Amino acid sequence: MLKGERLDRPTYSFLHTLDEGNTATCYLTYHEVYECPIVQKTISTLGMPDVLAREPNLLKSIEHTRILKVWEAQWDPDPARKHLDAITFTTEYHPGGSVLTALNELDQFGPWRAMQIADDVLVALEVLHEQHHYLHRDVKPGNILLDGERRRAVLGDLGSAARLNPATGGADGHVGSPLYRAPEASTGLVTARSDLYALGVTMVEMLNGPFPYEDLDRNDIDRRLAEGRRSLADRYFELAPWVPKPLATFVRSLSNRDAERRPADAASALRKLRDLRVVDWRRGSGSGLLGTWNGSWPGDVPRPRQLHLEVSAKDIDRGRNKGMVELTARWRRSNGKWRHYAKLKRRSDGSPGELAKFFNDVDREAQKAPTV
């Protein structure tokens, strides 16, 4: 309790519980003096590895806009937690929740937002790896916190972080959420590239939508990891056809099963990401490989100056081409008339590969257009 705390006017007002886990409980509270929402996280340090118990200290020692900010910490005064040696610390509140929150709400991130969030996480990892010599070891959707618009992110939960061993260049690999754990963890050692792998898997979900968590077999995940494989079969890592090819290539490089084929570090991954130029595609209607998608180009100019695009994939239900899929695309400037990319119109067999090729062709045409 802070010196001078008035019992009749407590500093924090409880709002509601945010999350309850095996090692921590998070609450949303309101700071009556600063007049803003604050997150309180309570962890038991009893029998806990030192690395988990020192999370508040580690977060406090790393001052950076892309890493969760700690305000204060204290031994938890609740008598019911006295035997647990519990610590409660307070952090800034992020109204957008986490990437996991957004995925569960079926939020469509699209390429641009996924890239911006990945950019922020890579900046955080570069600071953590290079300046402070720590691995995060638990990068995942639930540990990436978002602003109100869900466009910017900070990396949180350093409860699994470990100092890099100068002799091995890594740390113990038997830590972190299995779904996002790198294949090389089976050797007992993870490196900075393992954090990049976890971000790559997270980007797969941001671009494709959440994995079918309830259908996944934990025993199968554990078996695959023990064999030095990715936690899920390759089909889960196949990106949707409308994910731009340069971005898909980047995500595949992060989530590659072979650590040596991933970027060497967060800084080099960040440079590659910032060099990407892609159309921002979002599904407008339909499901599966049929429907319409809306796109914008380029991303670094105001919306009125952007090129607006639409791709359509429709079943052909009559004539000699019945059973095939008609692919069309059109474009317009803001408030302008739609114009078709007549030369791109085609019939396809409806396969993901054919749809991906069509999107690539539309992307190339869009990027040829002069910026207004």
Asked if residue 2 is part of any domain, the answer here is: no
Domain check: are 74 and 135 in the same one? no
Last residue of a domain, one of 92, 109, 131: 92
Segments of the chain scoring below 70 in pLDDT? 1-6, 20-23, 46-56, 78-84, 372
Q: What integer pLDDT is reported at residue 355 of this predicted model?
A: 98
Asked if residue 347 is part of any domain, the answer here is: yes
- Contact, 99 vs 141, CB < 8 A? yes
Last residue of a domain, one of 64, 92, 120: 92
Express each pLDDT in 239-298 by its tens digit.
999 999 999 999 999 999 999 999 999 999 999 999 999 999 999 999 999 999 999 999
Asked if residue 40 is part of any domain, the answer here is: yes
Asked if residue 5 is part of any domain, the answer here is: no
Domain check: are 360 and 336 in the same one? yes
Express each pLDDT in 22-41 by its tens digit.
567 888 888 888 888 889 88
Could you tell me the residue range of the domain that residue 362 belongs to?
Answer: 280-368
Asked if residue 313 is part of any domain, the answer here is: yes
Asked if residue 1 is part of any domain, the answer here is: no
Last residue of a domain, one of 92, 123, 151: 92
Domain check: are 262 and 308 in the same one? no
Q: What integer pLDDT is reported at residue 269 of this predicted model?
A: 99
Domain check: are 43 and 181 in the same one? no
Residue spans of alpha helices (H) in the chain: 50-53, 55-61, 99-104, 110-126, 192-208, 218-226, 245-254, 266-274, 352-368
Look at the chain and report how many structural domains it folds into.
Answer: 3
Residue 231 per-residue DSSP state: S
Domain check: are 65 and 132 in the same one? no
Find the CATH number of the domain harbouring 194. 1.10.510.10
Q: What integer pLDDT is reported at residue 47 of this predicted model?
A: 54
Q: What integer pLDDT is reported at residue 48 of this predicted model?
A: 54
Domain check: are 180 and 260 in the same one? yes
Domain check: are 238 and 298 in the same one? no
Tokens of 75: 């031994």
Domain check: are 46 and 141 in the same one? no
Domain check: are 128 and 158 in the same one? yes
Find the CATH number of the domain harbouring 64. 3.30.200.20
Asked if residue 42 is part of any domain, the answer here is: yes
Domain check: are 334 and 297 in the same one? yes
For 221, residues 6+ apart whose C-beta sits below 8 A from its C-beta are: 178, 179, 231, 232
Domain check: are 74 and 105 in the same one? no
Q: What integer pLDDT is reported at residue 270 of this predicted model?
A: 99
Express each pLDDT in 312-325 by its tens digit.
999 999 999 999 99
Domain check: are 84 and 128 in the same one? no
Asked if residue 120 is part of any domain, the answer here is: yes
- Contact, 140 vs 155, CB < 8 A? no
